[in-house]
Chain A
Amino acid sequence: MKVNRYLYPALKIFLLMGLIFGNIPLAFGQDAKEDAKIAVSFSEENDIKTITAIAVDKTGEPIEELELYFYVKRTFSLLPVGDPFNSTDENGMLEVVFPNDLPGDDAKGNVTIVVKIKESDLYNDLSLESTKNWGIPISLDPLKEKRSLWASSANAPISLITGVSIMIFGIWYIIFYIFFKLYKISKIRT
């Protein structure tokens, strides 16, 4: 029959698709990762600044041997702090010493510290940000900046500003004088 020519292949495709899509949750379910929780605390003793992170799973059990990454946010990217690889101990705890010589983002010395779980086999990626005034305070007040070639435009050396201005005004005075004279020419009639 003519109908069967189309019906059977269609049925086959329908069953095959059912098989594929039906198994998707199963296939992905096998690799599903858990969410981990990280508690970050900061302590400072005798000028040694320590970041402490405690990782627990969803049941509240400490996670051992979990790699955590510590960074400080800079203008364009993240600056790693601590050892290249840091793993939690049996209590799920990890301590990293914060360097004392990092410039802060502002006059208060605030820095943004980022703790991350990255590409773990068991846990989802996670990123936690906290602000702490552990950086060296920086002065962005342009009025306090010394006049120099590398300073902001407001603090250019006076000699440079004067020299360049004299040259620019000198030559543009002549240009405008010539425009004025051309105007005068246009006003002369026989």
Chain B
Amino acid sequence: MKKEISNGQVFETSREKDLLSHLISTSQKYKLWIAFLLLIILFGMFAYYRQVKYGLIVTAMRDFTSWGIYISNFVFLVAISLVGSLFSSILKLNNNVWAKPLIRVSEFIAVAAIICASVIIIIDMGRPDRFFYVITHFRIQSPIIWDVIIISTYLVISVLLLYISILPDIALCRDRLTEIPNWKKKFYRIMAINWVNHPKQVAILKKVSKILAVAVLPVAFAIHTVTSWLFATTWRPGWDSTNLGPYFVSGAFMAGAAVIVIAMYFIRNQLKLKSYITESHFNNMGKLLVLLSLVYLYFNINEYLGPAFKMVGVEGEHITELFAGKYSFLYWFVQLGGLVLPIILLLFRKMRNPVPLLIISFFVILGAWVKRFLIVIPSLQHPYLPIQDVEESYLHYIPTWEEWAITLASFASLLLIVTILIKLFPVLPVQEDEKLVINTDINPLIIKNES
């Protein structure tokens, strides 16, 4: 067996070296990146300190626009978190072999996004100290309670999905990595829960992994459907729609796929994994993005065609404002730049190469974020009851620097969590499935790593 050595660490195979060496050494670039993210988070924390001290008055939210970019961002982050289920469940159950190397990255992102989404909800509260009233004054009739329940459930399931997929690799890190600090050794030892690639352990893990792959799907659909119900059950133009559930879920999958493209591009380049995440992965992701965007386009047409055809009352005003009013630039940017153009461009093979696909995905993501802004804010500015004798500030919503700082900090936190997870665990399965093959239930056989 040919052994590989990197930074004093002996690896059994070149695959191990490629996938584990970044866990041992920390580059200057990585430290700078972490420092940059921490700086943004600290700035966001300062803005939040001001918000707690002076109250929500430091934001631009008032009586009519009572949900601002915090809630838009919350919906965006929940959407991103759905990507975990797309890869760990939908593509896995459909035996999409090409998607396997992307499963773990998707789970990292899912966990990070759902953590940030939960935090942003508390940030949106004027009295965060009363958060536990949600539990002590529990009302099952409230869609907000449904959201709290489903978010916490999805958080646990996402963590479990991730943990189950990395468990054999954590044990590998525990056994192989000698050149790491003691706390890391201890961390791997605890996290590996005595995993020794025992046939019985492998059998249980496979079973559990299948159960989770099926169980996560309804929960993932539920989390974004319930989030859409927060809007659909509130009587405002633009939200009074039966289409909102599938509209949100399809949009989430599209945004999630774009996030994966961006993540895999940077992971591939920074961790030098070009032979593992290949151009064909980008090609396939491009095709998947087209498919998901087409589904989303279909729901978009459904969402706007009916009200735009009828133009009834405030609903019509809302549509006019989106199509030709003060939000028209953002609206057409989202629909054309973030949806139609990406679909057309990605139909061409050359556009599915890493760099063009990365740029297109950025536009999709930007469009997805702005889309959430357009779902939340213009609707709130058109209540069914007339607005009379109110302060000037109630009529507009332009987020304050505190809101932007906190929102940027939430993105930085998401990136920080993903970066730390990448630094702690291998991003691709080190022990490929073939090495964990079970022949029979009674006498399972593990084919040892011989490569």
- Give A residues with C-beta under 8 Å from B: 149-153, 156-157, 160-161, 164, 167-168, 171-172, 174-175, 177-178, 181-182, 184-190
> Which residue from chain B places its CB closest to the CB of A179 in the assembled complex?
B160
Contact of A164 among B140, B157, B208, B211 (CB under 8 A): B140
In the docked arrangement, what's the CA distance between A184 and B205, Å?
10
| B39 interface residue (CB < 8 Å to A) | no
Shortest distance between the CB of B224 and any CB in chain A (Å): 15
Please judge, given known A-B contacts A156-B139, A184-B204, whether A175 and B195 are in contact too, CB under 8 Å.
no
Q: B residues 194-239 with Cβ under 8 Å of A?
A: 194-196, 198, 200-201, 204-205, 207-208, 211-212, 215, 218-219, 222
Q: Which B residue sits closest to A168, measured CB to CB?
A: B149
The answer to whether B160 touches A185, judged by C-beta atoms less than 8 angstroms apart, is no
In whole angstroms, how far apart are the Cα atoms of A36 and B140 in the complex?
53
The reply to whether A185 and B219 form a contact with Cβ atoms under 8 Å apart is no
The answer to whether B153 and A187 touch across the interface, beta carbons within 8 angstroms, is no
A-B contact pairs, 13 of them (CB 8 A): A153-B140, A156-B140, A164-B146, A167-B222, A171-B153, A171-B215, A175-B153, A178-B211, A184-B204, A185-B167, A185-B194, A185-B204, A185-B205
List the count of A-B residue pairs having beta carbons below 8 Å apart: 69
With A181-B208, A182-B193 already in contact, the answer to whether A172 and B153 are too (CB < 8 A) is: yes
* Given contact pairs A175-B157, A187-B194, A160 touches B141 in the complex (Cβ within 8 A): yes
Interface string of B169-205 (1 = CB under 8 A from A): 0000000000000000000000001111010110011
Check if B137 is an interface residue, CB within 8 A of chain A. Answer: yes
Q: How far apart sit A156 and B198, CA to CA, in the bound complex (Å)? A: 50
CB contacts (< 8 Å) of A156 on chain B: these are 139-141
Most chain B CB within a 10 A radius of its CB, from A157, A185, A188: A185
Q: Does B309 contact A (CB under 8 A)?
A: no
Q: Nearest-CB distance from A178 to chain B (Å)? A: 5
Q: Could you list which residues of chain B lie within 8 angstroms of chain A, going by C-beta atoms?
A: 137-141, 146, 149, 153, 156-157, 160, 163-164, 167, 193-196, 198, 200-201, 204-205, 207-208, 211-212, 215, 218-219, 222
Q: How far is the CA of A86 from the CA of B304 in the complex (A)?
A: 55
B138 pairs with A153, CB closer than 8 A? yes
Task: Name the A residues within 8 Å of B222 (CB-CB).
Answer: 167
Contact B208 A178 (CB under 8 A): yes
| Residue ID in chain A nearest B205 by CB atoms | A185
A185 to B201, Cβ gap below 8 A?
Answer: yes
Docked CA distance A149–B208 (Å): 38
Residues in chain B near residue A167, CB distance under 8 A:
222
Q: In the complex, A185→B168 CA distance in Å?
A: 11
Q: A57 to B346: give the CA distance in the assembly, Å.
A: 88
Contact with A188, one of B160, B164, B198, B218 (Cβ below 8 angstroms): B198
Q: Judging by beta carbons under 8 Å apart, are A174 and B211 in contact?
A: yes
B160: nearest residue on chain A (CB-CB)? A178
**Beta-carbon contact of B196 and A153 below 8 Å:** no
Instruction: Name A153's contact: one of B141, B156, B160 (CB within 8 Å).
Output: B141
Which B residues are CB-close (under 8 A) to A150? 141
Collect the chain B residues with CB atoms within 8 Å of residue A177's CB.
211
CB-defined contacts of A160 to chain B, threshold 8 Å = 140-141
Closest chain B residue, CB of each to CB of A147: B141
Instruction: Tell whether A190 pairs with B196 under 8 Å between CB atoms, given A160-B141, A175-B157.
Output: yes
Q: Do A178 and B212 form a contact, CB below 8 Å, given A188-B200, A188-B201?
A: yes
How many angstroms from the CA of A159 to the CA of B140 in the assembled complex?
Answer: 11
User: Which of A152, A153, A178, A185 is close to B193, meaning CB atoms less than 8 Å apart?
Assistant: A185
* Contact of A185 with B195 in the complex, beta carbons under 8 Å: yes
In angstroms, how far is the closest chain B Cβ from the Cβ of A185? 5
B90 nearest CB across to chain A (Å): 18
- In the assembled complex, the CB of B1 is this many whole angstroms from the nearest CB of chain A, namely 21
Q: How far is the CA of A150 from the CA of B141 in the complex (A)?
A: 7
Q: Say whether B140 contacts A161, CB under 8 Å.
A: yes
CB distance from A81 to the nearest CB of B (A): 23
**Whole-angstrom CA separation of A164 from B138 in the bound complex:** 13
Complex Cα distance, B145 from A149, in Å, reads 13
* A residues near B200, Cβ cutoff 8 Å: 188
Q: Contact at A171–B219, with CB atoms within 8 Å?
A: yes
* CB-based closest 8 A-B pairs: A186-B193, A153-B139, A156-B140, A149-B141, A186-B194, A174-B215, A185-B201, A181-B208
Residue from B193, B198, B212 within 8 A of A190 (CB atoms): B198
Chain B residues with CB below 8 A from A152, complex form: 139
Residue in chain B with minimal CB distance to A172: B153
CA distance A185 to B139 in the complex (A): 38
Expressed in whole angstroms, the minimum distance between the Cβ of B264 and any Cβ of chain A is: 28
Q: Which one of B140, B141, B196 has the greatest number of beta carbons of chain A within 10 Å?
A: B141
> Other CB < 8 Å A-B pairs besides A164-B149, A185-B195, A189-B194, 19 of them?
A153-B139, A156-B141, A164-B146, A167-B222, A177-B211, A178-B160, A178-B164, A178-B208, A181-B207, A181-B208, A185-B167, A185-B193, A185-B204, A185-B205, A188-B196, A188-B198, A189-B198, A190-B196, A190-B198
Contact A189 B141 (CB under 8 A): no
Shortest B61–chain A CB gap in Å is 21
- Give the shortest distance, in Å, between B20 (CB) and chain A (any CB): 22
Report the minimal beta-carbon distance from A43 to chain B, rounded to whole angstroms: 38
- In the assembled complex, the CB of A179 is this many whole angstroms from the nearest CB of chain B, namely 8
- How many angstroms between the C-alpha atoms of A82 and B153 in the bound complex? 55
A-side contacts of B141, CB under 8 Å: 149-151, 153, 156-157, 160
Q: Which residues of chain B are within 8 angstroms of A172 by Cβ–Cβ distance? A: 153
CA distance A188 to B167 in the complex (A): 14
Point out the residues of chain B lying under 8 angstroms from A164, CB to CB.
Answer: 140, 146, 149
